Amino acid sequence: MSGSMKVSRRSHVPPFAVMEVLAEANRLRDAGASVLNLCAGEPSTGASDVVRRRAIELLEHGDLGYTESLGVPALRRAIAEHYDRWYGVELDPARVAVTTGSSGGFVLAFLAAFDVGDRVALARPGYPAYKNILRALGCEVVELDCGPETRYQPTVSQLMEAYYDGGLDGLVVASPANPTGTMILPSELDAVATWCADHDVRLVSDEIYHGIVYGDPADGTPAPLPTAARHVGDGAVVVNSFSKYWAMTGWRLGWLVLPDELVGPVDALAGNVALSPPALAQHAGVAAFSPEGYAAAAENVARYAASRELVLSRLDDLGWSRVAPADGAFYVYADVSADGLDSVTWCERLLAEAGVALTPGTDFDGVHGGDWVRLSFAAAPATVAEAVERIVAWRRTL
């Protein structure tokens, strides 16, 4: 009988709790409840009009067949030009691999860079898919306990300790990070990248929240951000996506910036795994790099900034005294242990009793996450404001 047949050990990864919260929120909404969703890191605006118009043109008249495995040349060129525009980094488009979202990018990068048994370090708390993908691929995950003393980012001293404790083959960093929103300073990223190069440790830099930072110039141009694209010559890999800054989550479009030695392996893997990324998303995605596309994204960031300020101004009312610095992205990561509930129970009750969906910290930290929750302010500002009022009122009932 099929029920007794083998299931691979590699598939035994924990589910993504945010998706379970989202499913319960949708069930309650379908049953007629008023539910405010602040659990998913998904911009409420969706793709810009310029991207949508281009997609309509393509649906009516475009060739939407298979593309090159690493992406259409026009999009790879546009991404390379983006690095020159934002970072002053001259990038050969041949180093750019377009992927099926950043998720597909991580799978390809990890497959190309690491073998079964390789040890890869990452920060805790952090995005759970990193460790789950790595473990499914047979890698050993080395979690670095990163708290407020390191601004929730890994340090060279932590890397040295892990390296001499058993060796390291890779490091995954994220800036701005999920769930904390903290960022790596340029000098810190340079130090980490240099250390990795000197010790033959592959650096993989998650930069999908680049552009979503606060305290930027008034013209909407993002402040200079440290990018590992400056270190690809030393073996670093950059992962990015259209999902966050350009609000194109469901389009499933991302990219990698690769060192020379990984371009061929990623090309071969991509052709076997998915043939090519979605053609419609690729061709329409070129429009995201137009002046209108950048302007729409900057308007979104201004909305996030207003929602962020609203949440931070109500921390006392929310009873959140320990909060990670929300430098970028669109999250507030807060300690709720003062309410006397573990974070899973806290989130379950908040959803059932107040109709607000947040994510428990257990998704991001298997050691300390029971004390923490993540609030996403990527929703519409009015939704964020009402959700805060509901949380404040609900806490009075505890």
The CATH number of the domain covering residues in 64-290: 3.40.640.10
295 DSSP assignment: H
State the Cα–Cα distance between residues 90 and 93, nearest whole angstrom.
Answer: 9
Pick the more confident residue, 62 or 240: 240
Using 50, 70 and 90 to split pLDDT, how confident is the model at 3? low
CA nearest neighbour of 256 among 134, 76, 105: 105
pLDDT for 13 equals: 83
Of all residues in the chain, the percent with pLDDT exceeding 70 is 97
The alpha carbon dihedral of 306, 312, 318, 324 has a sign of positive
Paired tokens of 247: 């609000």
Q: Residue range 58-64: average pLDDT? A: 93
Whether 292 has a pLDDT exceeding 80, the answer reads yes
Residues of the chain with CATH 3.90.1150.10: 2-46+294-395
pLDDT for 92 equals: 97
pLDDT for 223 equals: 54
Neighbours of 325 (CB within 10 A): 14
Whether 218 has a pLDDT exceeding 90, the answer reads no
Average pLDDT, the chain: 94
Residue 328's φ and ψ, nearest 5 degrees, are: -155, -170
Of all residues in the chain, the percent with pLDDT exceeding 90 is 86
CA nearest neighbour of 132 among 238, 20, 12, 240: 12
Paired tokens of 85: 């525009």
Look-up: residue for tokens 């110039």?
217
CA nearest neighbour of 211 among 198, 195, 200, 223: 223
pLDDT for 222 equals: 52
CA nearest neighbour of 171 among 203, 134, 137, 135: 203
**How many helices (H) and strands (E) would you count in the chain?**
13, 12
Look-up: residue for tokens 């598939």?
11
CA nearest neighbour of 318 among 369, 387, 258, 251: 387
**What confidence tens digit (pLDDT) does each residue in 141-152 have?**
999 999 999 999
**What confidence tens digit (pLDDT) does each residue in 157-213 have?**
999 999 999 999 999 999 999 999 999 989 999 999 999 999 999 999 999 999 999
Residue 237's φ and ψ, nearest 5 degrees, are: -120, 135
Using 50, 70 and 90 to split pLDDT, how confident is the model at 220? very low
Whether 43 has a pLDDT exceeding 70, the answer reads yes
pLDDT for 217 equals: 43
Look-up: residue for tokens 């430098």?
327
Bridge partner list, 96: 257
Which amino acid, one-letter code, is at 232? Answer: V
Region for 168 from its dihedrals, namely left if φ exceeds 0, alpha if ψ lies in -120 to 50, beta otherwise: beta
27 DSSP assignment: H
**What confidence tens digit (pLDDT) does each residue in 72-126 have?**
999 999 999 999 999 999 999 999 999 999 999 999 999 999 999 999 999 999 9
Beta-carbon contacts of 21 under 8 Å, excluding residues fewer than 6 positions away, are 39, 347, 351, 357, 358, 359, 360
**What confidence tens digit (pLDDT) does each residue in 11-40 have?**
888 877 777 888 888 898 899 989 999 998
pLDDT for 18 equals: 77
Q: Are 229 and 90 in contact (CB under 8 A)?
A: no
DSSP state string for 41-98: ---SS-S-HHHHHHHHHHHHH---S---TT--HHHHHHHHHHHHHHH-----GGGEEE
222 DSSP assignment: P
Residues of the chain with CATH 3.40.640.10: 64-290
Class of 2-46+294-395 in CATH: alpha beta
Whether 215 has a pLDDT exceeding 60, the answer reads yes
Using 50, 70 and 90 to split pLDDT, how confident is the model at 329? very high
Q: What is the pTM of this model?
A: 0.94
152 DSSP assignment: T
> What is the three-state SS of 223-266?
CCCCCHHHHHHHCCEEEEECCCCCCCHHHCCEEEECCHHHHHHH
Neighbours of 219 (CB within 10 A): 6
